[in-house]
Structure 1
Amino acid sequence: MRTLLKVTCQVEASNKAVADGTLPKLMKSTAEKLNPEASYFFASDGCRSAMFIFDLKDPSDIPGIAEPFFMSLNAKVEFSPVMNAEDLQKGLANGGTLK
């Protein structure tokens, strides 16, 4: 399922992670693990943040994705199912009802 992962890092923990090299390593390993179709890095509410759009193959993968962010960056982690324009068109073509 196409999924949006949003990570919002706690400032003090992410400052330390930048200084000791943990942050770039964690972002790189996450990108390698998820093979996202897109990834973005930005400031949100004054915090370092990242978004990855990727295919979540199984919900049991969530802890393995989230725990490094919780443990290393004291981060808030959110997973949301998302659609691209093609998915939306397909859903609306069905009259917005389940098959």
Structure 2
Amino acid sequence: MRVLLKVRMNTEKANDAIGNGTLPKLIEATMEQIRPEAAYFTAEDGDRTAYLVFDMQDSSLMPVISEPFFSNLGARISYTPVMNYEDVQKGLSQLR
């Protein structure tokens, strides 16, 4: 299932992770692990935030993906099922 992973990082812990080199390594490891089709990085309400869209093969991956962000960055994480345009078209065609 295609999901949107939103990672909102605690500013103080993210500052420390930048200072000690943990943040770039964590992001790189996550990118290699989930191979997102899209990845965006921004600030939301003053927090560093990442939006990653990827295909989650099994929900048992949630702890594996989430825990490094929780333990290293004090992050708040959400997973949201999402569709691309082709998915919407496929779904709507089934309504006829």
- Matching of residues 75-86 of structure 1 within 5 Å: 75-86=75-86
2:26 corresponds to which residue? Answer: 26
Q: Distance in 2 between matches of 1:42 and 1:5?
A: 14
Q: What's the RMSD between the two structures over aligned residues?
A: 0.9
- CA deviation digits over 1:12-49, x for unaligned, max 9? 00010011111110000000000111101100010001
How many Å separate the matches in 1 of 2:8 and 2:26? 13
Whichever residue aligns with residue 21 of structure 2, its letter is G
Give 1:14-93 correspondences, 5 Å limit: 14-93=14-93
Post-superposition shift, 1:71? 0.1
The TM-score with structure 1 as length reference comes to: 0.94
Unaligned runs of 5+ in 1: none
TM-score (norm 2): 0.97
Identity %: 51
**Aligned-partner SS, 2:57:** coil
In the alignment, the residues of structure 2 paired with residue 86 and residue 80 of structure 1 have an alpha-carbon distance, to the nearest angstrom, of: 18
Deviating runs (4+, > 6 A) in structure 1? none
Query: Residue by residue, what CA displacement relative to the aligned partner does 1:75-94 show, whole Å, maximum 9, x if unpaired?
Result: 00111110000000111111
**How many Å separate the matches in 2 of 1:45 and 1:37?**
25
